[in-house]
Amino acid sequence: MDNCYSVSTQLRRVVARLYIPDLQMTGNYRVTGKLLMLPIDGQGQFAAKYVTIILGRQPRPNGVDALKCEDLAVSFHVGHATMKLGNLFGADDEFSHSLNQFLNDNWQKLIEELQTPMEVALRDFLKPLADHTFSTLNADDILSN
């Protein structure tokens, strides 16, 4: 993993990239909208793969600064996706089957469209966890000369 971290005691800054090879974050997400001008409503799962964390200082009342997560960039990779969306077009089972087949054959394109909103949602979920974790670490222990 190249450039996985850097520490600047002069700038009082730590930049770290964490690689989590098999983070099994599973959750249901729901997609509602239009695909090829057709209404679509579906859901699926995702797995987060990479997280970049930028750490800084957070003053504390006791005079000992804590580390603070100032920025959290999240990206992930989906290895494969399959979908079965039921009741897409009411009683038209043949059309629903055809659209499901199209989505499963072209899942990469669908993931490309959903990647940014899913990364934003994942970042919003992980940021408070990172803030809490880093707030327990003393900045001077990490950033002192």
Q: What does the alpha-carbon distance between residue 82 and residue 100 come to, in Å, rounded to a whole number?
A: 9
pLDDT at 89: 62
Alpha helices in the chain (DSSP H): 93-105, 107-135, 139-143
55 — pLDDT class (breaks 50, 70, 90): very low
Is residue 24 within 8 A of residue 13, CB to CB? The reply is: no
- pLDDT per position as a tens digit, 23-44: 445 555 566 777 667 676 665 5
Greater confidence (118 vs 97) lies with: 97
pLDDT higher than threshold 50 for residue 107: yes
Residue whose C-alpha is closest to residue 18's, from 49, 46, 47, 58: 49
- pLDDT per position as a tens digit, 79-102: 677 766 666 666 667 877 887 788
Q: What phi and psi, each to the nearest 5 degrees, are found at residue 23? A: -75, 115
Cβ atoms within 10 A of the Cβ of 88, count? 20
Give mean pLDDT, residues 7-25. 57
Give mean pLDDT, residues 57-82. 66
111 — pLDDT class (breaks 50, 70, 90): confident
Is residue 41 within 8 A of residue 34, CB to CB? The reply is: no
Domains, the chain: 5-143 (3.15.10.30)
Greater confidence (32 vs 51) lies with: 32
Q: What does the alpha-carbon distance between residue 100 and residue 6 come to, in Å, rounded to a whole number?
A: 46
pLDDT higher than threshold 70 for residue 48: no
Give mean pLDDT, residues 41-59. 47
